[in-house]
Amino acid sequence: MSQSIIEKGQAILGIEFGSTRIKSVLIAPDHQVIASGAHEWENEYLNGVWTYSEAAILQGLQSSFHALKEDVQRQYHVTLRSLGAIGLSAMMHGYLPFDESMRLLVPFRTWRNTMTGEAAAKLTQAFSFNMPQRWSLSHLYQAILNGEEHVPQIRFITTLAGWAHYWLTGEKVLGVGDASGIMPIDSATLSYDGKAIDTFEALIADRHYPWHLRDILPRAIPAGESAGCLTPEGARLLDPEGDLEPGCPLCPPEGDAGTGMTATNSVRVRTGNVSAGTSIFSMIVLEKPLSRVYPEIDIVTTPTGKPVGMVHCNSCTSDINAWVSLLREFADLMGLKTDAGEVYTRLFRKALEGEPDGGGLVNFNYLAGEPVTGVAEGRPMFLRLPDAKLSLANFMRTQIYASMETLKVGMEIMNQEHVAIDQVFGHGGLFKTPGVAQKWLAAAIHAPVTVMETAGEGGAWGIALLADYMVHRSAEETLEDYLDHRVFSGMKQSTLAPDPADEAGMDQYMRRFTACLPVQRAAAEGLRND
């Protein structure tokens, strides 16, 4: 069956540029993944900037697709030549400015950078809207404030997903959800907020640049609409072997927030999700506006333009990965060969034996700054009270607590605002071991957390669903109804409610964490790369 679907060009391709992996998946008409491929990569820290090179982006895209082709050949003994549709997704935000020839003017400044504090603060005040440091317009305005030489040459800015989409289609467009990570969106018009654009123009009027903001932004498109077709040049770029045929449609390119919402069926009002991988963020589709502007909460949108309250934290699993690597190195030293997946599973389960408050241990997983807690630069740091019980169980429990401690700070504001939440879905690598991180996330946000059997599929599957929605939706079918009735109906899921003992223990842990925030800030000041 799957072989026939592939041969007839009915399979849908989804590709997502994640922080550590570029994943490609093919889905069948029943929305099941029938083939996949991946390319591992890492960001670089060059000249004080977190970045991925243009060569790494292109090579990673081609490598991921090539791995998918190999998987198709291995499973079905056919060559992948045609597709029903393609969707591209990537990490949101960051800064990618281009000149009139679409030449990148400065190295990609990713979402992880916290170098735009002045610009973000000024834009927040001017817009009466929280403008986070990682948003594209904050980066642009900071470059202006810094007097950077490239700014007059700008003729287009976009996100990583928008850039990859341009490579394949020649279209300068963006899904409205990804566009909401550039600057504020008007949910009524499903485009950029006109008043914010006018305010920005007034702020930079004395600079006399040869461009206007409206002219350099990608056109925002809601889910369900076509965003161009695969060109012959795009087909050759994606598949240098020349097997892939051009012509299939592409859906609007989306950010990882939008694909996370789609992959967890949390695009309807009063639903939410928590994505936990290299970074961690929560997305709650708002029933009503918040009472005021909070610097800890971003307002973005669903792929169809509905407002969403987002708590975004830069660090999540990277520090866990580093510690697990250290423990595996010790095992190797002792002559024990270990399987990475089994090590993670056993350590996560061991954490369940830890004390509810972590036994007097505190961990900061801050590889980068965290605006939610007012930390400009990160320094991973592990602390303990002199009488703390330094057991493996407590150690691993605090490692997992650390992955969500900063998120909890922002979610407490949501609780204070009485934001209505019917369901929260967890997805991403943190939830691969059943019943561990899910259990403590429920305690952290004081709400039940559901993990579905697709929790590990992630954003590549989410963007494939959006591409399928574009191709197969009925005329009046909303994305919410499409996901409810066509994709998630009958899907297996598990839900854990908060355990009062875990809630009390995590609250006690958080008091120690909050008390140690000045230590984290001092570490950033005192410990710097030579």
* 3-class SS letters over 436-505: CHHHHHHHHHCCCEEEECCCCCHHHHHHHHHHHHHHHCCCCCCHHHHHHHHHCCCCCEEEECCCHHHHHH
Task: Give CA–CA dist 1/38, Å, rounded.
Answer: 24
Instruction: Give, in degrees to the nearest 5, the angle at Cα 447 between 445 and 449.
Output: 95
pLDDT < 70 regions, the chain: 454-457, 530
pLDDT digits (tens, 9 = 90+) for 7-44: 999 999 999 999 889 999 999 999 999 999 999 999 99
* pTM, to two decimals: 0.85
So what's the pLDDT on residue 362? 97
CA distance 494 to 480: 21
The residues pairing with 493 across neighbouring beta strands, listed in sequence order, are 452
Task: Give the per-residue pLDDT at 429.
Answer: 85
Q: Does domain 265-454+499-530 have CATH number 3.30.420.40?
A: yes
**460 to 14, 88, 137, 376: CA distances (angstroms):** 5, 8, 26, 31
| Per-residue pLDDT at 427 | 83
pLDDT tens column, 453-473:
765 567 899 999 999 999 999
Tens of pLDDT, residues 428-462: 889 989 999 999 999 999 989 999 876 556 789 99
Structure tokens given for 218: 């990608």
Beta-sheet strands, E only, within 7-126:
12-17, 21-27, 33-40, 44-46, 49-51, 85-90, 96-98
pLDDT score recorded for residue 335: 97
List the chain domain ranges: 265-454+499-530
